[in-house]
Structure 1
Amino acid sequence: MALRSRHKGHDKYKSRITNLFNVYDNVSDPAEQAHNAKYLAVLVSGYLEQAIKELLLHYTFQGARPQISRYIEETWPISRNMNTQNINDILGQFNSKWSEDFLYWLEQDDNRKSNINSIVRWRNGIAHGQESNTTGVTLVSVRNAFSTIGDLVSFIDGKVKS
Protein backbone atom coordinates (compact mmCIF):
# COMPACT_ATOMS: atom_id res chain seq x y z
CA MET A 1 0.00 0.00 0.00
CA ALA A 2 1.81 3.03 -1.30
CA LEU A 3 -0.24 5.45 0.77
CA ARG A 4 1.27 4.32 4.06
CA SER A 5 4.67 5.61 3.01
CA ARG A 6 3.14 8.88 1.75
CA HIS A 7 1.25 9.69 4.94
CA LYS A 8 2.18 13.15 6.11
CA GLY A 9 3.51 13.95 2.65
CA HIS A 10 1.15 16.89 2.82
CA ASP A 11 3.38 18.33 5.57
CA LYS A 12 6.23 18.64 3.06
CA TYR A 13 3.83 20.20 0.57
CA LYS A 14 2.70 22.68 3.23
CA SER A 15 6.32 23.58 4.05
CA ARG A 16 7.06 24.18 0.38
CA ILE A 17 4.12 26.56 0.09
CA THR A 18 5.12 28.37 3.29
CA ASN A 19 8.64 28.86 1.94
CA LEU A 20 7.28 30.20 -1.35
CA PHE A 21 5.15 32.74 0.52
CA ASN A 22 8.29 33.89 2.33
CA VAL A 23 10.16 34.28 -0.96
CA TYR A 24 7.28 36.01 -2.75
CA ASP A 25 6.75 38.49 0.08
CA ASN A 26 9.93 40.22 -1.07
CA VAL A 27 8.74 40.75 -4.65
CA SER A 28 7.77 44.36 -5.34
CA ASP A 29 6.69 44.19 -9.00
CA PRO A 30 2.84 44.12 -9.07
CA ALA A 31 2.67 41.94 -12.20
CA GLU A 32 5.05 39.42 -10.68
CA GLN A 33 3.10 39.48 -7.41
CA ALA A 34 -0.12 38.73 -9.29
CA HIS A 35 1.53 35.84 -11.14
CA ASN A 36 2.97 34.47 -7.90
CA ALA A 37 -0.41 34.72 -6.16
CA LYS A 38 -2.04 32.69 -8.93
CA TYR A 39 0.70 30.07 -8.79
CA LEU A 40 0.28 29.80 -5.02
CA ALA A 41 -3.50 29.54 -5.37
CA VAL A 42 -3.03 26.46 -7.54
CA LEU A 43 -0.56 24.96 -5.05
CA VAL A 44 -2.80 25.69 -2.07
CA SER A 45 -5.76 24.06 -3.79
CA GLY A 46 -3.59 21.02 -4.54
CA TYR A 47 -2.49 20.93 -0.91
CA LEU A 48 -6.13 20.92 0.17
CA GLU A 49 -6.95 17.96 -2.08
CA GLN A 50 -3.85 15.96 -1.17
CA ALA A 51 -4.06 16.53 2.57
CA ILE A 52 -7.70 15.47 2.79
CA LYS A 53 -7.06 12.43 0.63
CA GLU A 54 -4.00 11.38 2.64
CA LEU A 55 -5.68 11.83 6.01
CA LEU A 56 -8.83 9.94 5.10
CA LEU A 57 -7.05 7.14 3.27
CA HIS A 58 -4.60 6.77 6.13
CA TYR A 59 -7.61 6.47 8.41
CA THR A 60 -8.92 3.56 6.34
CA PHE A 61 -5.57 1.76 6.59
CA GLN A 62 -5.69 2.03 10.38
CA GLY A 63 -8.93 0.20 10.95
CA ALA A 64 -10.19 -1.48 7.81
CA ARG A 65 -9.32 -4.80 6.30
CA PRO A 66 -6.65 -4.47 3.61
CA GLN A 67 -9.14 -5.29 0.85
CA ILE A 68 -11.44 -2.45 1.90
CA SER A 69 -8.56 -0.01 2.27
CA ARG A 70 -7.29 -0.91 -1.16
CA TYR A 71 -10.76 -0.51 -2.65
CA ILE A 72 -11.17 2.96 -1.15
CA GLU A 73 -7.70 4.01 -2.30
CA GLU A 74 -8.25 2.67 -5.82
CA THR A 75 -11.68 4.27 -6.21
CA TRP A 76 -10.76 7.69 -4.79
CA PRO A 77 -11.36 10.28 -7.51
CA ILE A 78 -8.16 11.35 -9.27
CA SER A 79 -9.21 14.95 -8.94
CA ARG A 80 -12.06 16.43 -7.02
CA ASN A 81 -12.88 20.05 -6.40
CA MET A 82 -12.57 20.25 -2.64
CA ASN A 83 -15.12 22.96 -2.08
CA THR A 84 -16.96 22.90 1.22
CA GLN A 85 -19.90 20.92 -0.18
CA ASN A 86 -17.66 18.15 -1.50
CA ILE A 87 -15.63 18.07 1.69
CA ASN A 88 -18.83 17.76 3.69
CA ASP A 89 -20.08 14.96 1.43
CA ILE A 90 -16.82 13.02 1.74
CA LEU A 91 -16.67 13.43 5.51
CA GLY A 92 -20.30 12.34 5.76
CA GLN A 93 -19.53 9.19 3.80
CA PHE A 94 -16.90 8.28 6.37
CA ASN A 95 -18.82 9.39 9.46
CA SER A 96 -22.01 11.45 9.69
CA LYS A 97 -20.77 13.07 12.92
CA TRP A 98 -17.70 14.35 11.09
CA SER A 99 -19.98 16.04 8.58
CA GLU A 100 -22.00 17.67 11.36
CA ASP A 101 -18.83 18.79 13.13
CA PHE A 102 -17.43 20.18 9.87
CA LEU A 103 -20.55 22.27 9.26
CA TYR A 104 -20.34 23.57 12.82
CA TRP A 105 -16.61 24.33 12.29
CA LEU A 106 -17.48 26.34 9.17
CA GLU A 107 -20.11 28.33 11.06
CA GLN A 108 -17.62 29.37 13.75
CA ASP A 109 -15.84 31.74 11.34
CA ASP A 110 -17.60 33.41 8.41
CA ASN A 111 -14.37 33.47 6.39
CA ARG A 112 -13.74 29.71 6.47
CA LYS A 113 -16.28 28.71 3.87
CA SER A 114 -15.40 31.66 1.65
CA ASN A 115 -11.65 31.02 1.86
CA ILE A 116 -11.98 27.33 1.00
CA ASN A 117 -14.45 27.84 -1.84
CA SER A 118 -12.49 30.79 -3.23
CA ILE A 119 -9.22 28.88 -3.51
CA VAL A 120 -10.97 26.10 -5.44
CA ARG A 121 -12.78 28.59 -7.69
CA TRP A 122 -9.55 30.50 -8.34
CA ARG A 123 -7.66 27.32 -9.17
CA ASN A 124 -10.35 26.33 -11.66
CA GLY A 125 -10.35 29.79 -13.22
CA ILE A 126 -6.56 29.79 -13.53
CA ALA A 127 -6.44 26.25 -14.91
CA HIS A 128 -9.11 27.01 -17.51
CA GLY A 129 -7.75 30.40 -18.55
CA GLN A 130 -10.71 32.32 -17.18
CA GLU A 131 -8.95 35.45 -15.96
CA SER A 132 -12.25 37.09 -15.03
CA ASN A 133 -12.68 34.43 -12.32
CA THR A 134 -9.35 35.28 -10.72
CA THR A 135 -10.06 38.78 -9.46
CA GLY A 136 -9.22 38.96 -5.79
CA VAL A 137 -6.28 36.58 -6.12
CA THR A 138 -3.56 38.35 -4.17
CA LEU A 139 -0.78 37.09 -1.95
CA VAL A 140 -2.82 38.24 1.05
CA SER A 141 -6.03 36.51 -0.03
CA VAL A 142 -4.21 33.29 -0.92
CA ARG A 143 -2.32 33.38 2.40
CA ASN A 144 -5.64 33.78 4.24
CA ALA A 145 -7.07 30.80 2.37
CA PHE A 146 -3.90 28.81 3.09
CA SER A 147 -4.23 29.55 6.80
CA THR A 148 -7.87 28.43 6.80
CA ILE A 149 -6.97 25.27 4.90
CA GLY A 150 -4.21 24.55 7.41
CA ASP A 151 -6.82 24.83 10.16
CA LEU A 152 -9.13 22.53 8.20
CA VAL A 153 -6.41 19.92 7.78
CA SER A 154 -5.78 20.04 11.54
CA PHE A 155 -9.52 19.71 12.16
CA ILE A 156 -9.78 16.62 9.92
CA ASP A 157 -6.60 15.17 11.39
CA GLY A 158 -8.18 15.47 14.83
CA LYS A 159 -11.32 13.70 13.63
CA VAL A 160 -9.49 10.74 12.14
CA LYS A 161 -7.33 10.34 15.25
CA SER A 162 -10.24 10.34 17.72
Structure 2
Amino acid sequence: MRFAIESRVKKLDSFFSRAGANSVDDEIRADMAKFGAILICGFVERSVEIIVLERLSGRAHPRITKFIQSYFKKGTNYSCEQIKQLLEKFDVNWSRNFKVFMDENGMVVDQLDSAYTLRNSVAHGGEQNRGLAGVRELYLAAKVVVDGVVSSTV
Protein backbone atom coordinates (compact mmCIF):
# COMPACT_ATOMS: atom_id res chain seq x y z
CA MET A 1 0.00 0.00 0.00
CA ARG A 2 2.69 2.47 1.00
CA PHE A 3 4.58 1.88 -2.24
CA ALA A 4 1.50 2.54 -4.40
CA ILE A 5 0.76 5.78 -2.57
CA GLU A 6 4.39 6.92 -2.43
CA SER A 7 4.69 6.28 -6.17
CA ARG A 8 1.77 8.66 -6.78
CA VAL A 9 3.29 11.23 -4.42
CA LYS A 10 6.57 11.14 -6.34
CA LYS A 11 4.74 11.68 -9.64
CA LEU A 12 2.83 14.63 -8.23
CA ASP A 13 5.95 16.10 -6.63
CA SER A 14 7.65 15.86 -10.01
CA PHE A 15 4.66 17.46 -11.74
CA PHE A 16 4.65 20.46 -9.40
CA SER A 17 8.42 20.80 -9.72
CA ARG A 18 8.18 20.89 -13.52
CA ALA A 19 5.19 23.24 -13.46
CA GLY A 20 7.03 25.67 -11.20
CA ALA A 21 10.23 25.78 -13.25
CA ASN A 22 11.37 29.28 -14.23
CA SER A 23 11.41 28.29 -17.89
CA VAL A 24 7.64 27.61 -17.95
CA ASP A 25 5.56 30.31 -19.63
CA ASP A 26 2.94 31.93 -17.35
CA GLU A 27 0.03 30.83 -19.53
CA ILE A 28 1.26 27.25 -19.57
CA ARG A 29 1.83 27.43 -15.80
CA ALA A 30 -1.81 28.51 -15.37
CA ASP A 31 -2.95 25.55 -17.47
CA MET A 32 -0.72 23.25 -15.44
CA ALA A 33 -2.31 24.58 -12.24
CA LYS A 34 -5.72 23.58 -13.61
CA PHE A 35 -4.40 20.14 -14.48
CA GLY A 36 -2.81 19.93 -11.04
CA ALA A 37 -6.23 20.29 -9.41
CA ILE A 38 -7.44 17.30 -11.40
CA LEU A 39 -4.36 15.26 -10.45
CA ILE A 40 -4.79 16.09 -6.76
CA CYS A 41 -8.35 14.80 -6.66
CA GLY A 42 -7.36 11.68 -8.57
CA PHE A 43 -4.58 11.12 -6.06
CA VAL A 44 -7.03 11.27 -3.15
CA GLU A 45 -9.58 9.01 -4.85
CA ARG A 46 -7.05 6.37 -5.84
CA SER A 47 -5.31 6.50 -2.45
CA VAL A 48 -8.57 5.96 -0.57
CA GLU A 49 -9.26 2.98 -2.81
CA ILE A 50 -5.79 1.52 -2.25
CA ILE A 51 -6.02 1.98 1.52
CA VAL A 52 -9.47 0.44 1.89
CA LEU A 53 -8.71 -2.52 -0.37
CA GLU A 54 -5.41 -3.16 1.40
CA ARG A 55 -7.02 -3.02 4.83
CA LEU A 56 -9.76 -5.43 3.74
CA SER A 57 -7.52 -7.90 1.92
CA GLY A 58 -7.43 -11.17 3.78
CA ARG A 59 -10.41 -10.11 5.91
CA ALA A 60 -13.18 -9.90 3.33
CA HIS A 61 -14.60 -12.65 1.13
CA PRO A 62 -13.27 -12.40 -2.47
CA ARG A 63 -16.76 -11.55 -3.75
CA ILE A 64 -16.95 -8.65 -1.33
CA THR A 65 -13.54 -7.44 -2.44
CA LYS A 66 -14.65 -7.66 -6.07
CA PHE A 67 -17.79 -5.66 -5.27
CA ILE A 68 -15.74 -3.00 -3.50
CA GLN A 69 -13.38 -2.75 -6.47
CA SER A 70 -16.35 -2.16 -8.76
CA TYR A 71 -17.65 0.50 -6.36
CA PHE A 72 -14.42 2.44 -6.69
CA LYS A 73 -14.49 2.28 -10.49
CA LYS A 74 -17.44 4.70 -10.64
CA GLY A 75 -15.38 7.51 -9.11
CA THR A 76 -16.42 9.86 -6.34
CA ASN A 77 -15.62 13.37 -5.19
CA TYR A 78 -14.23 12.60 -1.75
CA SER A 79 -14.68 15.38 0.73
CA CYS A 80 -13.42 14.41 4.17
CA GLU A 81 -17.03 13.91 5.26
CA GLN A 82 -17.57 11.47 2.38
CA ILE A 83 -14.37 9.63 3.27
CA LYS A 84 -15.59 9.35 6.86
CA GLN A 85 -18.92 7.96 5.69
CA LEU A 86 -17.18 5.45 3.44
CA LEU A 87 -14.91 4.29 6.26
CA GLU A 88 -17.92 3.83 8.51
CA LYS A 89 -19.34 1.30 6.04
CA PHE A 90 -16.34 -0.92 6.71
CA ASP A 91 -15.36 -0.25 10.31
CA VAL A 92 -16.94 2.15 12.80
CA ASN A 93 -13.57 2.64 14.50
CA TRP A 94 -12.02 3.77 11.22
CA SER A 95 -14.75 6.36 10.90
CA ARG A 96 -14.35 7.53 14.50
CA ASN A 97 -10.60 7.80 14.10
CA PHE A 98 -10.99 9.79 10.89
CA LYS A 99 -13.54 12.09 12.57
CA VAL A 100 -10.92 12.87 15.22
CA PHE A 101 -8.46 13.59 12.40
CA MET A 102 -11.02 15.92 10.79
CA ASP A 103 -11.65 17.75 14.06
CA GLU A 104 -7.93 18.28 14.57
CA ASN A 105 -7.26 19.34 10.96
CA GLY A 106 -10.09 21.68 10.00
CA MET A 107 -7.99 23.72 7.59
CA VAL A 108 -6.92 20.61 5.69
CA VAL A 109 -10.55 19.47 5.50
CA ASP A 110 -11.50 22.83 3.96
CA GLN A 111 -8.58 22.68 1.53
CA LEU A 112 -9.65 19.28 0.23
CA ASP A 113 -13.14 20.69 -0.34
CA SER A 114 -11.50 23.56 -2.24
CA ALA A 115 -9.54 21.13 -4.40
CA TYR A 116 -12.75 19.40 -5.48
CA THR A 117 -14.54 22.70 -6.06
CA LEU A 118 -11.64 23.79 -8.24
CA ARG A 119 -11.49 20.51 -10.11
CA ASN A 120 -15.21 20.54 -10.82
CA SER A 121 -15.02 24.14 -11.99
CA VAL A 122 -12.17 23.32 -14.36
CA ALA A 123 -13.94 20.20 -15.62
CA HIS A 124 -17.07 22.18 -16.43
CA GLY A 125 -15.35 25.07 -18.16
CA GLY A 126 -15.27 27.45 -15.22
CA GLU A 127 -12.48 29.81 -14.39
CA GLN A 128 -9.82 29.11 -11.85
CA ASN A 129 -8.88 31.66 -9.23
CA ARG A 130 -5.78 29.93 -7.87
CA GLY A 131 -2.30 30.04 -9.20
CA LEU A 132 0.16 27.19 -9.10
CA ALA A 133 1.28 28.06 -5.55
CA GLY A 134 -2.32 27.87 -4.32
CA VAL A 135 -2.88 24.56 -6.06
CA ARG A 136 0.35 23.24 -4.56
CA GLU A 137 -1.06 24.10 -1.11
CA LEU A 138 -4.13 22.01 -1.93
CA TYR A 139 -1.81 19.15 -2.87
CA LEU A 140 0.01 19.37 0.46
CA ALA A 141 -3.36 19.26 2.22
CA ALA A 142 -4.39 16.23 0.14
CA LYS A 143 -1.24 14.40 1.29
CA VAL A 144 -2.16 15.13 4.90
CA VAL A 145 -5.68 13.77 4.30
CA VAL A 146 -4.31 10.56 2.76
CA ASP A 147 -1.96 10.14 5.72
CA GLY A 148 -4.98 10.68 7.97
CA VAL A 149 -6.86 7.88 6.20
CA VAL A 150 -3.87 5.57 6.58
CA SER A 151 -3.49 6.25 10.30
CA SER A 152 -7.26 6.07 10.91
CA THR A 153 -7.59 2.61 9.39
CA VAL A 154 -4.94 0.75 11.36
TM-score when normalising by structure 1: 0.83
| In 1, Cα distance between equivalents of 2:76 and 2:91 | 19
Out of 5, 9, 16, the residue aligned to residue 10 of structure 1 is: 5
Q: Output the CA distance in 2 between the equivalents of 1:76 and 1:49.
A: 8
Q: Report the Cα offset of residue 146 of structure 1.
A: 1.2
Task: Specify the alignment match of 2:16 in structure 1.
Answer: 21
For structure 1, the residue ranges without an aligned partner over 5 or more in a row are 1-5
Matched residue, 1:59: 55
Out of 102, 109, 124, the residue aligned to residue 106 of structure 1 is 102
Q: Partner residue of 1:156?
A: 149
Instruction: Return the offset for 1:16.
Output: 0.9
CA 25–38 in structure 1, closer or farther in 2 if over 3 Å, else same: same
The DSSP-based 3-state class of the residue aligned with 1:130 is coil
| CA-to-aligned-CA distance 1:96-149 (integer Å, 9 cap, x gap) | 222222222122233111111011111111111122xx22x2222221121121
Report the Cα distance in structure 1 between the residues aligned to 2:131 and 2:90, rounded to whole angstroms.
Answer: 35
1:40 aligned to 2:40?
A: no
- Tell whether 2:66 aligns with 1:70: yes
Q: Which residue of 2 aligns with 1:138?
A: 131
Q: Distance in 1 between matches of 2:58 and 2:140?
A: 28
Q: CA deviation at 1:7?
A: 7.7
- The residue matched to 2:76 in structure 1 has which SS? coil
Answer whether contact 2:34 2:122 (CA < 8 A) is retained: yes
Q: How far has the Cα of 1:54 moved from its partner?
A: 1.1
SS at match of 2:77: coil
Aligned letter for 2:17? N
Partner of 1:129: 125
Identify which range, 79-88 or 20-29, moves more after superposition: 20-29
Paired residue secondary structure (1:63): coil
Number of aligned positions between the proteins: 153
8 Å CA contact 2:108–2:144 kept in 1: the answer is no
Residue 90 (structure 1) aligned with residue 86 (structure 2): yes
Stretches of structure 2 that go unaligned for 5 or more consecutive residues are: none
Q: Equivalent of 1:49, from 23, 45, 50? A: 45
Residues 95, 152 of structure 2: 8 Å contact kept: no
Look up the match of 2:27: 31
Cα-Cα RMSD: 2.0
Query: Does the 8 A contact of 2:97 with 2:152 survive in 1?
Result: no
